[in-house]
Amino acid sequence: MCTKNGSCTMSMIGKVLLIVGGINWGLVGLGTLLQSGSSWNVVEMIFGPVSTLTSIIYVLVGIAGVMKIFGCKCSKCMSCTCSTDGNMENKM
């Protein structure tokens, strides 16, 4: 059975982590380019610099990137496909 967008929960979590990571690194780069003198690292702003939770978040974003490279191989993602018009179809 396909989800609304044709992917499993882990795939959706990975997409969210990649978006958060991409925005965070974009802000870090922008802060550096503007030489603002302060870090624009949102993850460190929220969870503190060099905290265990910050490190865990970075590892999860890295895992999400690797998952995106190789694609999700779970049975839910492998058993359905979405056509270009947005309709979901089961593979046979």
pLDDT per residue as tens digits for the range 38-51: 778 888 888 888 78
Would residue 3 count as lying in a domain? no
Report, in this order, helix, strand and coil percent for the chain, each rounded to 5.
Answer: 60, 5, 35
Angle between helices 9-33 and 52-70 (to 10 degrees): 120
Q: What is the pLDDT of residue 85?
A: 47
Would residue 47 count as lying in a domain? yes
Average pLDDT over residues 29-34: 89
Would residue 19 count as lying in a domain? yes
Q: Distance of CA 6 to CAs 40, 43, 80, 87, Å?
A: 34, 29, 7, 9
Range of the domain at 36: 9-78
Would residue 32 count as lying in a domain? yes
Q: What DSSP designation does 50 have?
A: T
Task: Identify whether the C-beta of residue 80 lies closer than 8 Å to the C-beta of residue 2.
Answer: yes
- Residue 82, pLDDT > 70, answer no
What are φ and ψ of residue 88, in 5° steps?
-95, 140
